[in-house]
Structure 1
């Protein structure tokens, strides 16, 4: 079968290769991949790929081989899955605890945009605690995670301020009901909760915008610049703030995927897909995603039914 593998070349980060079709383990199904969605973090890993690493964690398609242990869906079921990797391929082995069944109303393109970004958004909001009536600041808001967080938080009753680099990248967030600014200095605090994904110089500024006793949840470092915090500067800011480190990972993912599918089916969550293309265009799409030229998610189709 064909699979996209890392090249180590930042100008063309992946290339097609012929590889054996995966053999599913007892608790895995074999999925014929119809669509997949890369994540910006994967574009960074592709700059220096580790030995044997193959990307691909967000897939949607058709079950063509059921799990040998009897778990999971039957052959012919349409699913969305979050495998540990190797999903940019014609076929992928997906653990049954990391997939959800798709209803007829959700196509593979929208489904493929859900897993990593959607699961991150759900778990991030759980980490932040109840948000109804609370003031929330979200940095780096125009990516896939940011769109899901904004729509879900506003829908849950939060007063959301979203920071995006440009007005165009913030248009849809404003339509959700968020207050959109393009410079962190323009965010009018204080905030009860800050969801911070950029790192670098932004995190200390974001901390200063918290109310006393507020919480900052640090879930990314998109700037790729380390953070420096000054203890004495914090003494002149809000008191008793909490900074929490967050990472979404931790299987099983099936329950969260099912919840995301249910929200989409119920017209309560709307994936923002800034580009849909054939997977022959994956290399260019990865570069544009890395350079933030795509708003929301990008989805690649393999030529199967989507």
Structure 2
């Protein structure tokens, strides 16, 4: 079958190449999905350029897919053949077909198309689990950095609709305009312009952003560190932290660790979309032959929200 294979991490023009890959060999609890659309996440671009581990030999990118089940799970779990689904495999999704555990698959209603669904998995699941980590948000002030990506759009809409006052940090007013439409109470272009204090900070940039955001916490506030998109190391001075907000907390966050399955959270996201309570921000939709071009645009921060590719 055709699939996108990792290119050379030293050739920025060819991060992936279209080639041939073996057909999926599903485990007992895995079904096979014929892929109609997939999205590209920033973490995958880091894996392709060698900044993040590729996890195992033979790795191919692809964590967010939507399509149709063409082979059911041998153990009887999951949707039947012919069912339209959204899925979150650990990898290998940028291909004509992919094997996915039934615990990572949710059925799609007719009202949700494959492009919209493909934008949901990693960013949407991360947003849901971030807000669970933050606790009840009604009436609380929340600061989110790096908010113009997929996660930021979902967090902003979900938190604002739950009664939070969200301050979103985006690089430019243009990149952040949609966040205001989704309910952000305030848009700033730098953490330095965010006045605070905030009950919760959701930090994804790293570098100087994290200590600056930490200093804007209210007493007893919580900072959830869920990314380092700048790829710049963070330096925290213990004594500065100690002199900062009383009883401030920093929480480690790993979206893969949860009491709920991916299937459960994907189903929740689909219900929200179907009910008109969640609106995926899709910055570009292109044919999968242009995946390398999309990766370059993501690296240059030219895409607002999610980037989705479709298979012809």
In structure 2, what is the Cα distance between the partners aligned to 1:156 and 1:102?
Answer: 25
> What is the Cα deviation at residue 232 of structure 1?
2.1
> What is the Cα deviation at residue 89 of structure 1?
0.2
In structure 1, what is the Cα distance between the partners aligned to 2:307 and 2:291?
Answer: 10
Residue matched to 2:207: 200
In structure 1, what is the Cα distance between the partners aligned to 2:89 and 2:243?
Answer: 46
The answer to whether structure 1 residue 228 and structure 2 residue 235 are counterparts is yes
In structure 2, what is the Cα distance between the partners aligned to 1:20 and 1:230?
Answer: 50
Determine if contact 1:44/1:290 at 8 Å carries over to the other structure: no
> What is the Cα deviation at residue 177 of structure 1?
2.0
The answer to whether structure 1 residue 270 and structure 2 residue 272 are counterparts is no
Q: Which runs of 5+ in 2 are unaligned?
A: none
More moved, 10-19 vs 189-198: 10-19
More moved, 169-178 vs 97-106: 169-178
The answer to whether structure 1 residue 287 and structure 2 residue 296 are counterparts is yes
Residue matched to 2:217: 210
In structure 2, what is the Cα distance between the partners aligned to 1:177 and 1:115?
Answer: 22
> What is the Cα deviation at residue 180 of structure 1?
0.5
The answer to whether structure 1 residue 249 and structure 2 residue 251 are counterparts is no
In structure 2, what is the Cα distance between the partners aligned to 1:150 and 1:64?
Answer: 36
More moved, 161-170 vs 243-252: 243-252
Q: Which runs of 4+ in 1 moved over 6 A?
A: none
C-alpha deviations, 1:93-151, integer Å up to 9, x for none?
Answer: 01100010000000000000000000000000000000000000000000000000000
The counterpart of 1:86, out of the listed 65, 88, 92, is: 92
**Paired residues, number:** 303
Q: Which runs of 5+ in 1 are unaligned?
A: none
Secondary structure at 1:37 match in 2:
strand
The counterpart of 1:120, out of the listed 126, 130, 155, is: 126
Determine if contact 2:153/2:182 at 8 Å carries over to the other structure: no
Alignment of 1:1-306 (within 5 A): 1-8=1-8, 9-48=11-50, 50=54, 51-178=57-184, 179-250=186-257, 252-303=261-312
Determine if contact 1:151/1:269 at 8 Å carries over to the other structure: yes
Cα RMSD (Å) of the superposition? Answer: 1.1
C-alpha deviations, 1:41-86, integer Å up to 9, x for none?
Answer: 1101101274421110000000011111111111100000001110
> What is the Cα deviation at residue 265 of structure 1?
0.3
In structure 2, what is the Cα distance between the partners aligned to 1:152 and 1:245?
Answer: 21
